[in-house]
Chains A and B, each alone.
Chain A
Amino acid sequence: MHKLSDPNSWLSQYGDILYRHALFRLRDPMIAEETVQETFVAALQARQRFAGNASEKTWLIGILKHKIIDYLRKIIRERPHSEEEQALFVLQNETFDGSGHWKTDLQQWSAPENALQQEQFFNVLEMCVSKLPPRAATLFMLREIDGLDSGTICKEMDISSTNNLWVMLSRMRMRLRECLNIHWFGQKKD
């Protein structure tokens, strides 16, 4: 069983950690700060109901993630689908020729296992995620970082069918692969 510590110590213990998560997901320092503030407010109000089956940190991050998804859902709903789909669609057409073959050969990535040991690699990955269109970036967070299943993601993001989701995930990954290929593995645009 986990217990909560004195709320006066929350800020110094978790403030910056929550902020970094928020900034990564929301990509805007002002909105990230506001979301962290709201998280502490909500946590204070909910602390009597803390059941103790997760650590304090996990509990706070959970509240933060709810706030973030609420915000992103709103933003994404207001943004036309077509614009973003177009951006990801263009990549597909640049990558494959008319008969669906790779336009240029994929080069082997050198020492990929070393990449995971390097701080710098994760900076590049973070940069690549930050360049994704908003909907694709959110799907990345929910699927690859939070590990949510397809059904849950569709519900959270108002996606009408899992088939649509799988297509979007596929295009998102293709975009990220391309970005890593260029910026980490140092290869020219395929």
Chain B
Amino acid sequence: MLNCKQAAERASNKLDRRLPVYKRMGLWLHTGMCQNCRRYIEQLKLLRNSSAKLNAHIENCSDKTLSETSKNKIKKYIQQEREEK
């Protein structure tokens, strides 16, 4: 029988690979009796769903911008490069 520590790890593994039937069965048997692990699985799902949306959030963080120094460097470089061509 799995303990919670093993069940928690297996629940995470399930997000990364297809588990063999006996492993899925073991997890299913455990969570059938264990509310904590059921909650853990729910919370992992939320974590996964929200992580997938984090990229859009990062892109729209309007308070983070390149410094003027860096912008000028890039501008200069692009101009130079194009004049050489």
Interface residue tally on A, bucketed by range: 35 or more
Asked whether any CB of chain B lies closer than 8 Å to the CB of A15, the reply is yes
Question: Taking the nearest CB of chain A, how far is it from the CB of B63, in angstroms?
Answer: 10
Residues of A within 8 A of B54 (CB): 122, 125-126, 129, 144-145
Cross-interface CB contact of B47 among A145, A165, A177, cutoff 8 Å: A177
Also in contact, A106 and B66, with CB within 8 A (given A125-B50, A170-B9): no
Complexed CA–CA distance, A44 and B59 (Å):
22
Interface residues of B in 5-25 (CB under 8 A from A): 5-6, 8-9, 12-13, 15-17
Complexed CA–CA distance, A145 and B42 (Å):
19
Cross-interface CB contact of A37 among B35, B39, B73, cutoff 8 Å: B73
Interface residues of A in 17-60 (CB under 8 A from B): 17, 19-21, 23-24, 29, 33, 36-37, 40-41, 44-45
Complexed CA–CA distance, A30 and B47 (Å):
30
Judge whether A37 and B78 touch: CB under 8 Å: no
Judge whether A16 and B65 touch: CB under 8 Å: yes
Residues of A within 8 A of B71 (CB): 11, 15
Interface residue tally on B, bucketed by range: 35 or more
Judge whether B64 and A16 touch: CB under 8 Å: yes
Q: What 1/0 flags go to A148-190 for Cβ under 8 Å of B? A: 0010000000000010011101100110110011000000000
Residues of A within 8 A of B59 (CB): 17, 20-21
Question: Taking the nearest CB of chain B, how far is it from the CB of A48, in angstroms?
Answer: 10
- Measured CB to CB, the nearest residue on chain B to A178 is B43
Residues of A within 8 A of B39 (CB): 106-109
Cross-interface CB contact of A119 among B48, B57, B77, cutoff 8 Å: B57
Judge whether A100 and B5 touch: CB under 8 Å: yes
Judge whether B61 and A20 touch: CB under 8 Å: yes
Complexed CA–CA distance, A129 and B38 (Å):
24
Residues of B within 8 A of A102 (CB): 4, 36
Also in contact, A96 and B47, with CB within 8 A (given A11-B74, A20-B59, A36-B70): no
Can you offer 30 A-B residue contacts whose CB atoms are under 8 A?
A7-B81, A8-B78, A11-B74, A11-B75, A16-B65, A24-B58, A33-B66, A36-B66, A36-B74, A37-B74, A41-B77, A99-B3, A100-B6, A101-B4, A106-B39, A112-B42, A115-B46, A116-B46, A121-B50, A122-B50, A144-B51, A144-B52, A145-B52, A145-B55, A147-B52, A162-B17, A166-B17, A170-B9, A173-B44, A177-B43
